Structure 1
Amino acid sequence: MNEKRTARLELRLTFEEKEKLSKMAQERGKTIAQIIRELVINDKLVTKTDIQTVIELKRIGNNINQIAKQINLIPHEDNIKLYLQELHDILNMLSVITKKLV
C-alpha cells in the first residue's frame, strides 16, 4: 500500500474517549490513526502480544501435557482395587513398624 494518505477526517471525542484511544494506541505501539484504521477499515484490531503472556501460556500448556501424561499412567479400573489393597497393606505394615519404634 504505497498510496499516500491525503484525505482527512475530523472526529470529535470526549476527553475520556480520546484518552482511551491514546492509551490503546500506546499499549500496542501504534498511532491513534492506525488503531482507528484497523478497527474501521480492516474490521479488526491487531494487538501486540506481551511476551510474558506467551511464556505463561507455554507453561500452562506444559503443565496440561504433564497432567495428561500422569492421567494416562493411571491403571485400568480392573487393577485399581489391587493397587489400593497393596497400598492398604503397606500402610498397615508402616503402622506396625511405627508402633514398635514408639
Structure 2
Amino acid sequence: MARPKVSKEEKRSVIFTIRLTLEEQRKLNELGAMFGISPRLLAREKIFRGSYPKQKMPRIDVDVYTELKKIGININQLARHVNSGKVPYGLRKVLLELSEQQQLIIKLLLD
C-alpha cells in the first residue's frame, strides 16, 4: 500500500540548520534519548508546542524490580498478620514506615 500524499502546506520541505558545540549536541542527544525521540523531533516539539513531550518511562533493572516486588509481598503479608492481631501492635508502625519507603523508592525509580 502506498504512502498517502501530503498537501504542500503540510509537507516539510524547508531545511533549517543550526550550529552546536559538542557539549550542546551531547545534551540534545541525551534529552532525545530520555524522551525516546530523535533530537530533531524534540527541538520541534519544544519550539512549536512550548513544552517537552511526555517523558518515556525508564527501564527498571529486572533485579531491582524483583527485589521491590518481594519487599512488597513481605510487607503485605506482615500487614495482614498485624491487622488480624497475630503480631504485636508495635510492629504496625514499622510496617507503615517500610511501606512508605517502598513507595518512595518506586516513585524515584519511575520519575
Q: What's the TM-score once normalised by structure 1's chain length?
A: 0.46
Q: Which has the higher contact order (CA 8 A, sep 6+)?
A: 2
Say which structure is richer in helix. Answer: 1
**Structure with the greater alpha carbon radius of gyration:** 1
Q: What's the TM-score once normalised by structure 2's chain length?
A: 0.43
